[in-house]
A and B are shown apart, each in its own frame.
Chain A
Amino acid sequence: MLVRRRTRVSGRVVGTFAALATLAGLAACRPAAKPLAAVRLDGGQPTVLLATCPDFQIDAISVYVESGSATAAASGPGRRLERTGPQAPDRMPLLGQPPAGWSASDSSLTALAPGQAYGLTAYAHAQPTLTITFTAEELAALGVGEVLVGKQPSSHEKVTEKEFRKRAEDSC
């Protein structure tokens, strides 16, 4: 997404530098997101799997409707969970009653709609994890022991839970 504020540098210059920055794989101006969240179905219910680093303890989880567009805003029911207890569990249900130590500030999402893309991001002190974009059908298609993890820029990858845990640990 590109937000223009004031005009001092031309769009052409911006385009050139953006292309160079992309080619160089630069991630300036924001720390890189860690792959510390995954999602899958447990007993037919969406479940988020969490990992932590010593300096990255997840304290909020957000699920929101994705429009599939880089510019169009999406509206729809969402889910926002905030940690009130001392630490995050290694997995918890995404919908329904929040587990002990968590509260829901947005519970408008009660079930995943068929064909709708959702984004899931976890946060530690407002620092985001790698976002997972998924649909209900993609969750249902997962095999035993498989989870979806985030993939840049806005997609997902199917891996085993063991691989998710390994990547999370490596990212710390």
Chain B
Amino acid sequence: MTIGDYLLYPGSPSKLQSDLDAEALERARLRQRGIDSATFGPDLLEHEARHSDQWKHFDPGTFLVLYFSGTALSYLITRTDGKANPWEIGANPYKGGYWTYDKPLTPGWLKPVGNCMIGLCW
């Protein structure tokens, strides 16, 4: 979770390193298949850095209201907190682990719309 410029990670430094190693492995697997792993691969720290950028455009109270409105919207659409949250999509949901390259999303329109939001319309 990112609050402003602070990343709150609910684990130890060893666990974070293990997670980052797993992400690097997954990106390597995608690259081997010819897939743009810098876009479609997991990268928690870059995802959280984008959240940090989102915070700077609003005062903290406003951002929290907007973010959790997005959470509510996501829950209505997907029954999950983040898969359709515009703020998670804006921070690249592939990097944040909400979307996986090979897994389809329900509803079917979500992925093309979300891809457009992160500049991947075509």
| Pick from A6, A60, A126, A131: contact of B11, CB under 8 Å | A131
B100 at the interface (CB under 8 A from A): yes
Question: Which chain B residues lie closer than 8 Å to A17 at the CB level?
Answer: 3, 60, 64
Within the complex, what minimum Cβ distance (angstroms) separates B20 from chain A?
9
Interface size on B, residues (CB 8 A): 48
Which residues of A in the span 45-79 have a Cβ within 8 Å of any Cβ on B? 55, 60, 62, 64-67, 69-74
Residue pair A14, B6 in contact (C-beta under 8 Å): yes
Greatest chain A CB density within 10 A among B12, B21, B26, B41 is at B12
| Given known contacts A18-B3, A30-B97, A60 and B13 CB-to-CB distance under 8 angstroms | no
Interface residues of B (CB under 8 A from A): 1-19, 21-23, 25-26, 41-42, 44, 47-49, 51-52, 55-56, 60, 64, 67, 71, 80-82, 88, 96-98, 100, 102-103
Interface residues of A (CB under 8 A from B): 1-9, 11, 13-14, 17-18, 21, 26-31, 55, 60, 62, 64-67, 69-74, 80, 82, 105, 119, 121, 123, 125-128, 131, 152-154
Known: A18-B8, A121-B15. 7 other contacts (CB 8 A): A17-B3, A18-B3, A21-B1, A26-B1, A29-B82, A31-B80, A121-B18
